[in-house]
Amino acid sequence: MMKKILMLALSSLMVLGLAACGNTNGADASSSASKKTDTAAQAPAKGNGKTLVVYYSAGGHTKNVANYIAKATNGDVLELKPANDYTDADLDYNNKDSRVYREHDDANLRDIPLVKDKADNWEGYDTVFIGYPIWWGIAAWPVDTFVKHNDFSGKTVIPFATSASSGFGDSGRQLQQMAGTGNWLEGKRFPSNVSESTVQQWVQSLNR
């Protein structure tokens, strides 16, 4: 009889011990889950920065590069179009009587009104690429209007240019001074026939 009582007592103690262990493991799991939840809640949210590619293109080469950049960055595109667009004759750099030649000689003629000089949802962009052909060693002046009419505060600005032979020169720095705001990075000049892969490699290098 005593043996049966002792066996029953031992069995009860074992059951209680197992229950206690089970409760402890449950508390640890709950605590662990709570810690994971807290960690997730404290993780910083990723930015929703957007990219805008703005460009003026006279012969189509800058347009091609702008589209390559937009594709590589999943960015939006804004083409700058003069209200009084240039004709082929206007762009004859060898004719001293052509429009572009006269504008080059007289800086007062370089204030070019645009069809649209502001981007929709401008505040939503944190990176802005600005593209243009090189005219007489500087940025084609239709982009000046856009640069002057917008506030680049809080934005990273990356100029790019196309030309058959002219270098990038001080074109980007001049636009930066004209803007007076924004974090301007060193720009890049591309040859007129640049490949998409070359442009993509440059865009990727900006993130390193």
- What pLDDT sits at residue 207? 85
pLDDT at 137 over 50: yes
Whole-Å CA distances, 192 to 17, 32, 33, 62, 94: 81, 59, 58, 8, 19
Q: What is the pLDDT of residues 169-197, one digit of tens each?
A: 999 999 999 999 999 999 999 999 999 99
Q: Are 168 and 187 in contact (CB under 8 A)?
A: yes
Average confidence (pLDDT) over 123-150: 97
Q: What is the pLDDT of residues 92-118, one digit of tens each?
A: 999 999 999 999 999 999 999 999 999
- 42/47 Cα distance (integer angstroms): 15
pLDDT at 30 over 50: no
**Angle (deg, nearest 10), helices 61-73 and 196-205:** 50
The radius of gyration of the chain from alpha carbons, rounded to an integer in Å, stands at 32
- What pLDDT sits at residue 49? 64
Superfamily designation of domain 50-205: Flavodoxin domain (3.40.50.360)
Q: What is the pLDDT of residues 66-95, one digit of tens each?
A: 999 999 999 999 999 999 999 999 999 999
Domain boundaries, the chain: 50-205
Three-class SS of 101-168:
HHHHHCHHHHCCCECCCCCCCHHHEEEEEEEEEEECCEECCHHHHHHHCCCCCCCEEEEEEEECCCCC
> For all residues of the chain together, what is the average pLDDT?
82
Q: How confident is the model at residue 2 (pLDDT cuts 50, 70, 90)?
A: very low
Q: Are 100 and 91 in contact (CB under 8 A)?
A: yes
The verdict on pTM exceeding 0.95 is no
Q: How confident is the model at residue 13 (pLDDT cuts 50, 70, 90)?
A: very low
- 60/192 Cα distance (integer angstroms): 9
